[in-house]
Amino acid sequence: MKRLLLLLSLGGAGLLLAPAAQAQRTDSTGVKPQLNTAPPGSAPRPAQPVNTPQPTIPAPPPVEAPLPSNQQYDPNRPSGLDFPNRPGVAAPPPPVRKYFIYSNFGLGYTSSYGFGVFNASIAPAVGYQVNDRFAFGPGFSYIYSNYSFPNSYRQFGYPSSLGLNSFGLKAFAQYRVIDQFFIHAEYEVTNAQALAERQIGPQQVELIKVKQTYYTPLAGIGYRQQLGERVAADILLLYNFNNGIDNYGNRTSPYGQPEIRFNFLYRFGR
Residue 153 domain-assigned (yes or no): yes
Domain that holds residue 220: 109-268
Does residue 220 form part of some domain? yes
* Angle (nearest 5°) at CA 186 between 181 and 189: 160
pTM: 0.58
Specify if 4 maps to a domain.
no
For position 195, which CATH number holds? 2.40.160
Q: Please report, in tens digits, the pLDDT of each residue of the chain (270 residues total).
A: 555 555 555 555 555 555 554 545 544 445 555 555 555 555 556 555 556 666 667 677 666 666 555 555 565 555 555 555 555 556 666 666 789 999 988 888 877 777 788 888 999 999 999 999 999 999 999 999 888 888 887 778 788 888 899 999 999 999 999 999 999 999 999 999 888 888 887 878 888 888 889 999 999 999 999 999 899 999 999 998 987 666 555 667 888 788 889 999 999 877
With helix as H, strand as E and coil as C, how does the chain read? CHHHHHHHHHHHHHHHHHHHHHHHHHHHHCCCCCCCCCCCCCCCCCCCCCCCCCCCCCCCCCCCCCCCHHHCCCCCCCCCCCCCCCCCCCCCCCCCCCEEEEEEEEEEEEEECCEEEEEEEECCEEEEECCCCEEEEEEEEEEEEEEECCHHHHHHCCCCEEEEEEEEEEEEEEEEEECCEEEEEEEEEEEEEEEEEEECCCCCEEEEEEEEEEEEEEEEEEEEEECCCCEEEEEEEEEECCCCECCCCCECCCCCCCEEEEEEEEEECC
Q: What is the number of domains present in the chain? A: 1
Residue 162 resides in a domain: yes
